């Protein structure tokens, strides 16, 4: 549904509510209070329509207005809340009666939820139910033993989820949302379900993942399933793409990424520009009749209107699963994308109030009448918006909003399973989480730089305030805040990102840093496979001591191809050519002889040394929002004798997979540097 149409429907609803509230006030209002002690209940009931504030609530309406307090007893007054609920219920009843005439199936939607939950529970086969560990205690959720083709023992809560997953697929829902907290093995739970389910020849399972997780899925499928159990295909890049739907249908499991799914959908829907003009390219993923579609990190489709979401909605499948540790990140409305992907009836559908028209998609496409029934946009509404989203946006946690929250909870009980590490700590056997906040003071040089930057930023911000243009200069304000945050990490993040005119010639000159000794490269050579730079002598020693036929790059762990007889590599001219198109690493932009560490980097190094005081094999993960800061941290750790690897958005899927494997399997690599900005859907 377009934003404009939804706003129109909301305005119509508000008008009806206002008319009804005015009538109610005139018939039920108490004796007018004296001006000295105004009644919050009467004031709210007699309020005329006011300008709307952000979030849908009337401007000037506070939580006290919606849930008033008696000034004498300081207790919550229930009168207004009950009247508000009755008024809203009366409006819904009147509108629902009109809708039920053409859509009688909607009359028992909420009352049928409990019955649907009970029906799903009955679909778990009795022979597959595992008895609870404590036979004298209350019976817990049904548990199902892992299939014999799974080469891994499931934890108790994973056995419960296996039973739940199979029951969901056998129910009328045909799928659901697995929302276990991150790190609880959602991948293994889905693999166990694949092995425990019957195969459907010609109708494989499609698993859509972020780029960084695709090869991890392949590794888990290969490692934890018996050989020959599942035929798995990676549908990615030109070398792995299959152009014929019949060829894809031969596999049991197909792995692909959100980026490829969205690109194929966009080219098949809108076409792509070629020399011969715009060309519509059919999407092989949209042409396969899948038995099951699994969305890993399903919050990637939280925006219902984005191209990735529409591509996922358009897939043809019998069963649909969403895996995410954060089904709701910012707003309740984000849940609709997961409900819409499941095609959950009636919550994901649009209904017409004049006829039996019912559609998953907004059927207007810029027209003045519905393409299915011919009625106006105002005659159509989305059940999710009407019953869940709009009451919560308008009333929050009070009155009708509270009722909507309760109904939403019942709906989630029907289609979602979520457990946290704290709830299942006994099953996981994890140590308790300890959060320590360390506060360090700037040194004198850092303090001077930060205060100078702060004063400059304050002056610029005050300029926007005086001109009344703060909102129109939001991007510039955000830039000022970002610079101060970067300066707290290391002054180089600000200094080396300034315009060339603000830096000296020596500072702007690109320096080649060896990937082995981490000093300025002498007699530099370049690896052909990944273009990393090394000292010729260091590379010779590395190759002679590696002891393997096919060594890996010591920086990115890709297969290493290097010509030891190549001429000395010279840094490109930073003022022109291809060097001007791509900014070099911050390490190559700084003068190594002038290197100064920062308080934050040294504090990190101190903590890592402390952790490894008794056990040198302890592994750590360091997160940062800034890739350049990770470059500085990596360089400092390597200089300090701590081997580390780094994962950021500049890496290809193969590089990411190699880095993860190196950290997992190499005991000498003890620190993993990860960028928070690694795009999960790229």
Residue that finishes a domain, picked among 368, 394, 417 = 417
DSSP string, 149-197: TB-SPPPHHHHHHHHHHHHHHHSTT-EEEE-PPTTS-HHHHHHHHHHHS
pLDDT in tens, 193-202: 999 988 888 8
CA 47 to chain centre: 41
User: Cα 100 to the chain's mean position, in Å?
Assistant: 37
Decide if pLDDT at 427 tops 80. Answer: yes
597 pLDDT higher than 70: yes
The verdict on residue 5 lying in a domain is yes
Distance from the first to the final alpha carbon of the chain: 27
- Specify the pLDDT at position 601: 92
Single out the residue of 671, 564, 667 nearest to residue 622, CA to CA.
671
- In sequence order, which residues have a C-beta less than 8 Å from that of residue 607 and are 6 or more positions away? 438
Q: Is residue 182 part of a domain?
A: no
**Residue-level pLDDT at 254:** 93
Residue 17 is inside which H or E element, if any? helix 3-28
Residue 388's alpha-carbon distances to 99, 102, 547, in angstroms, are 17, 21, 63
CA nearest to 225, candidates 204, 202, 252: 252
Q: Is residue 582 part of a domain?
A: no
For residue 459, tell me if it sits in a domain.
no
Separation of alpha carbons 333 and 337, rounded Å = 8
Q: What is the DSSP string of 238-307?
A: HHH----HHHHTTSSEEEEEHHHHHHHHHHHHT-EEETTEEE----HHHHS-EEEEEEETGGGG-STTSH
Q: What is the CATH number of the domain that holds 651?
A: 3.40.50.300
Among candidate residues 373, 399, 417, the one where a domain is terminated: 417
Percent of the chain with pLDDT over 90: 21
Q: What is the mean pLDDT of the chain?
A: 77
Q: For the segment 516-568, what is each residue's pLDDT rounded down to a tens digit?
A: 766 667 778 888 777 888 887 778 777 776 666 778 887 777 788 888 777 77
The three-state secondary structure class of 520 is strand
Q: Which residues of 569-588 are buried (b: 16+ CB within 10 A; e: fewer)?
A: beeeebeeeeeeeeeebbbb
Residue of 96 and 80 predicted with greater confidence: 96
Give the H/E segment covering residue 207: strand 205-209
Residue ranges making up the domain that contains 616: 597-682
Residue 38 has pLDDT above 60, yes or no: no
Confidence of residue 72 (pLDDT cuts 50, 70, 90): low
**Pick from 417, 442, 460: which residue ends a domain?**
417
Q: Is residue 38 part of a domain?
A: yes
**Who has greater pLDDT, 463 or 96?**
463
Least reliable range by pLDDT among 375-379, 461-465, 495-499: 495-499
Domain assignment of residue 201, yes or no: no
SS3 (DSSP) at 509: coil
Q: Residue 441, exposed/middle/buried by CB under 10 A (0-12, 13-18, 19+)? A: exposed
Total domains, the chain:
2
The backbone region for 419, taken as left when phi is positive above 0, alpha when psi lies in -120 to 50, beta otherwise, is beta
Residue owning tokens 């990735």: 308
Q: Judge whether 308 lies within some domain.
A: no
Q: Report the range out of 38-52, 86-100, 444-458 with the highest average pLDDT.
A: 444-458
Tokens representing 40 are 């919050």
Predicted local distance difference test score (pLDDT) of residue 575: 46
Q: Is residue 661 part of a domain?
A: yes
Compute the half-sphere exposure of residue 119: CA atoms within 13 Å on the CB side of its CA: 12
């Amino acid at each position: 549904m377009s934003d404009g149409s939804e706003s129109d429907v909301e305005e119509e609803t508000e008008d009806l509510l206002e008319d009804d509230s005015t009538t109610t006030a005139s018939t039920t209002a108490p004796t007018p209070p004296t001006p000295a002690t105004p009644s919050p209940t009467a004031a709210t009931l007699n309020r005329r329509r006011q300008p709307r504030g952000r979030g849908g609530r009337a401007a000037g309406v506070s939580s006290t207005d919606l849930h008033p307090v008696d000034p004498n007893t300081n207790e919550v007054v229930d009168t207004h809340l009950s009247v508000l609920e009755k008024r809203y219920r009366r409006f819904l009843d009147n509108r629902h009666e009109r809708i039920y005439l053409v859509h009688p199936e909607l009359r028992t939607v909420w009352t049928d939820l409990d019955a649907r939950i009970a029906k799903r529970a009955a679909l778990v086969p009795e022979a597959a139910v595992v008895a609870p560990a404590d036979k004298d205690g209350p019976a817990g959720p049904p548990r199902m033993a892992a299939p014999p083709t799974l080469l891994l023992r499931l934890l108790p809560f994973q056995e419960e989820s296996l039973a739940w997953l199979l029951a969901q697929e056998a129910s009328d829902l045909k799928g659901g949302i697995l929302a276990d907290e991150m790190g609880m093995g959602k991948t293994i739970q889905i693999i166990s379900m694949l092995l425990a389910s019957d195969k459907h020849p010609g109708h494989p399972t499609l698993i859509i993942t972020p780029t960084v997780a695709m090869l991890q899925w392949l590794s888990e499928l290969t490692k934890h399933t018996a050989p020959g159990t599942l035929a798995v295909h990676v549908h990615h890049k030109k070398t792995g793409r299959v152009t014929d739907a019949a060829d894809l249908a031969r596999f049991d499991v197909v792995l692909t990424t959100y980026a490829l799914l969205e690109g194929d959908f966009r080219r098949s829907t809108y076409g792509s520009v070629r020399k011969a003009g715009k060309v519509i390219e059919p999407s092989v993923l949209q042409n396969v009749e899948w038995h099951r579609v699994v969305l890993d990190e399903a919050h990637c489709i939280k925006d219902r209107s984005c191209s990735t979401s529409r591509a996922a909605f358009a897939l043809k499948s019998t069963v649909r699963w969403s895996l995410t540790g954060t089904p709701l990140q910012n707003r309740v409305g984000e849940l609709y994308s997961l409900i819409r992907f499941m095609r959950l009836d009636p919550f994901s559908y649009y209904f017409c109030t004049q006829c039996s028209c019912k559609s998953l998609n907004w059927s207007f496409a810029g027209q003045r009448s519905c393409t299915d029934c011919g009625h106006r946009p105002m005659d159509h509404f989305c059940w999710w918006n009407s019953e869940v989203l709009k009451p919560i946006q308008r009333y929050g946690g009070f009155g009708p909003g509270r009722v909507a929250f309760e109904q939403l909870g019942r709906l989630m009980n029907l289609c979602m399973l979520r457990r946290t590490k704290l709830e299942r700590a006994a099953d996981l056997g994890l140590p308790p989480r300890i959060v320590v906040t360390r506060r360090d003071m700037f040194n004198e040089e850092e303090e001077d730089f930060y205060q100078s930057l702060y004063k400059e930023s304050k002056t610029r911000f005050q300029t926007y305030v005086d001109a009344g243009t703060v909102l129109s200069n939001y991007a510039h304000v955000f830039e000022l805040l970002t610079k101060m945050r970067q300066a707290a990490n290391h002054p180089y993040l600000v200094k080396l990102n300034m315009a060339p005119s603000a830096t000296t010639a020596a500072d702007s000159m690109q320096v080649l840093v060896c990937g082995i000794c981490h000093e300025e490269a002498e007699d530099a050579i370049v690896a052909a496979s990944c273009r990393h730079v090394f000292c010729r002598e260091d590379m010779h020693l590395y190759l002679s001591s590696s002891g393997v036929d096919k060594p890996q790059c010591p920086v990115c762990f890709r297969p290493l191809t290097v010509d030891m007889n190549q001429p000395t590599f010279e840094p490109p001219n930073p003022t022109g050519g291809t060097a001007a198109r791509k900014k070099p690493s911050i390490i190559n932009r700084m003068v190594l002889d002038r290197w100064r560490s920062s308080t934050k980097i040294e504090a990190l190094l101190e903590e890592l040394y402390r952790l490894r005081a008794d056990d040198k094999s302890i592994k750590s993960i360091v997160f940062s929002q800034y890739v350049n800061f990770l470059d500085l941290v990596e360089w400092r750790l390597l200089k300090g004798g701590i081997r580390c690897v780094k994962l950021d958005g500049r890496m290809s899927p193969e590089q990411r997979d190699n880095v993860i494997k190196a950290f997992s399997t190499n005991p000498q690599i003890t620190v993993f540097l990860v960028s928070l900005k690694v795009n999960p859907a790229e």
